[in-house]
Amino acid sequence: MTPRRRRHLLLTGAVLAAVVAAMFLTRALLILAGWGPDPARPVEGWMTPRYLVQVYDLPPDRLAETLGVDPHGARGEPLERIAARRGIPLRTLIDQVESLRGDD
């Protein structure tokens, strides 16, 4: 490998690393500035169990029990799909999650 090619590869790697670092820094600053997920937001059908645990600080085991899902299996499945699979109205499932939020 020639010195010129090596410099080119190093420069490309440095630029890529700087872009990735800038993305993470921007995200961190936005979250610190309060532009992250709003815990006061009502529970909606598109939300997943993992999102609910992170945003509302719900205990994962209790949420899984409330939703009737495996605690590790349904992380990316939205409430809409969970309600349909269980054969219950979405509003009922959302009310159950909201009551879990109120227990804290």
- Tens digits of per-residue pLDDT, 18-49? 999 999 999 888 777 766 666 678 899 999 99
pLDDT tier at 11, thresholds 50, 70, 90:
very high
| Residue 103 pLDDT exceeds 70 | no
* DSSP secondary structure code for residue 88 in this structure: S
CA distance to 20, 21, 57, 104, per residue, from 52 (Å): 27, 27, 7, 14
**What would the pLDDT profile of 58-97 be if each residue is shown by its tens digit?**
999 999 999 988 877 766 899 999 999 999 999 999 999 9
Residue 12 has what pLDDT? Answer: 97
Question: How many whole angstroms separate alpha carbon 81 and alpha carbon 92?
Answer: 13
pLDDT exceeds 60 at position 1: yes
> In this predicted structure, what is the pLDDT of residue 9?
94
pTM: 0.62
